[in-house]
Structure 1
Amino acid sequence: MVWGAARQRPAGRGVFCQFAGLSDVSISQDIPVEGEITVPMASQSQEEDFSTLDEPVKDTIMRDLKAVGKKFFHVMYPKKSTALLRDWDLWGPLVLCVSLALMLQSGNVNNKDDGGPQFAEVFVIIWFGAVVITLNSKLLGGTISFFQSLCVLGYCILPLTVAMLVSRLMLLASGGTVTFIIRLIVVITMFAWSTFASTAFLADSQPPNRRALAVYPIFLFYFVISWMILTFSPSSA
């Protein structure tokens, strides 16, 4: 009979009995509560509050120029750093590619066969070569992203761009065997600099047993650009 009475007890009354003591329980402030609608302003960092939408255009341009300048510094002073990989961009590679192509193009603008094709040739070789090297790196198991690799390869053209500038100035001043020897030394030095800088940033992203396969296309990439710089002569200018 007692069991039958227990079965006949209303279900709602049993539930209220189970939660009868919860009315005396208060939530402490130390207990984290999820789903808060408002977040104290003091808990937000300064970077989270910063918005480029309210920033003047001049400040935005100066900040981007400083970022590009820092990447140029890392290339000219190559060391193992994640600056090029973390804050990647393609502005620096685009400027270097255009500058190098303009210096390699022919100076005779009246001839339709000069200038344009050579500019397009340099532009395509640089970007197509960088894309091929990046795809090769990814196929070999590289851990960096596509655009990070393009950023590093593009920024590391800076020493070769400097070599092209020096070479062009020397050709404008004088020519001959001595000038060629000096140009050869400058180009070889900058070629080694570009190769070393790029491998310093990209080598660690490759598996140890496949680094040679990843570095070899980089060597060929900068070698082709160096050969174009070295074979540039006033007759094509």
Structure 2
Amino acid sequence: MPLVHCFHSHEQKFAGLSDVSISEDIPVEGDIAVPVSSRGTEDEFSTLDEPVKDTILRDLKAVGNKFVHVMYPKKSSALLRDWDLWGPLLLCVTLALLLQGGSADSKDDGGPQFAEVFVIIWFGSVIITLNSKLLGGTISFFQSLCVLGYCILPLTVAMLVCRLVLLLVSSGTAGFIVRLIIVTASFGWSTFASTAFLADSQPANRKALVVYPVFLFYFVIGWMILTFSPSS
């Protein structure tokens, strides 16, 4: 009898755990264009059974589609619904590598710059995301990181073009003007694209407080690109 009584007491103690569930408003992970058929019954196609090549190609296609959404920004839930961090990571590493080796001080070989750019981009994205959440934004943490990371694409393209300009044109007034125009255009594009995706997730009376840190974030990246000069 004591054993039965103990069993019933533990059963009553943990009876409420069956009602605990994860809210649908909290996304656990992103969905990178998973085939519709994989969401059906267990007898249907599953991504676990497909070849690795098909999985990689499908994910690369999904990342490419998000790049297209950034270059042609419009109000779309693609970056929010199917978020991932592969694209932002690729852009961050590419931009850091392109900025590598540029230094105003000839004694500095530019070695730490990769880590500096990497930290600035990710730390800035986290700060903007936290600011958005504190202001009452409905977007999740990783969704915001995804949008901010993908919207670095125009600035990354600008960095590549600026490096080509520095190779073809001497770093004089003409070269600086050309780079200024390119960086300004890419800065405006990145800011516009990010706000187009994030605007609807923010309270109407606090959108300016959310957009301002985004403006500063892309401005700092644009300034690093504009002031870049290859070390001799």
- Asked if TM exceeds 0.5, the reply is yes
Identify the match of residue 228 of structure 2 among 201, 223, 232: 232
Alignment of 1:148-159 (within 5 A): 148-159=143-154
Task: Pick one of 188, 191, 207 that aligns with 1:192.
Answer: 188
Q: Does 1:139 align with 2:134?
A: yes
The change in CA–CA distance for 1:230 and 1:77 in structure 2 (over 3 A counts) is same
Moved more, 84-93 or 169-178: 169-178
Question: Is it true that 1:46 corresponds to 2:37 in the alignment?
Answer: yes
Deviations 1:169-190 (A, max 9, x none): 1101121211110100000000
Q: Which SS does the other structure have where 1:144 is aligned?
A: coil
SS in structure 2 opposite 1:150? helix
Q: Distance in 1 between matches of 2:37 and 2:52?
A: 20
- The Cα offsets for residues 14-51 of structure 1, whole Å up to 9 and x where unpaired, read as xxxxxxxxxxxxxxxxxxxxxxxxxxxxxxx7232221
Structure 1 residues 127-136 or 170-179, which shifts more?
170-179
Give the counterpart letter for 1:92 in structure 2.
G
1:223 alignment counterpart? 219
Match of 1:214 among 210, 215, 221: 210
**TM-score (norm. length: structure 2):** 0.79
Counterpart pick for 2:175 among 162, 176, 179: 179
Q: Report the AA paired with residue 148 of structure 1.
A: Q
Deviates more, 1:215-224 or 1:169-178: 169-178
Q: Which AA in structure 2 matches 1:229? A: I
Confirm or deny that 1:64 pairs with 2:59. Answer: yes
2:119 aligned partner: 124
Q: CA deviation at 1:107?
A: 6.4
Is 2:67 aligned against 1:76?
A: no
Deviation at 1:116, TM superposition (A): 2.6
TM-score (norm 1): 0.77
By how many angstroms is 1:160 displaced?
0.1
- In structure 1, give the amino acid aligned to 2:210: A
Give the distance between the partners of 1:138 and 1:72, measured in 2 at CA: 25
Contact 2:128–2:214 (CA under 8 A) maintained in structure 1: yes
What's the C-alpha RMSD, in Å, of the aligned pairs?
1.6
Structure label with greater radius of gyration: 1
Give the count of matched residue pairs.
Answer: 190
Q: Match of 1:201?
A: 197
Gaps in structure 1 of 5+ consecutive residues: 1-44
How far, CA to CA, are the matches of 1:115 and 1:201 in structure 2?
Answer: 35
Shift of 1:203: 1.1
* Percentage identity across paired residues of the two chains: 81
Residues of 1 paired with 2:173 and 2:140: CA distance? 45
Higher helix share: 1
Partner of 1:20 in structure 2?
none
Tell me, what secondary structure is at the counterpart of 2:109?
A: coil
Question: Partner of 1:105: helix, strand, or coil?
Answer: coil
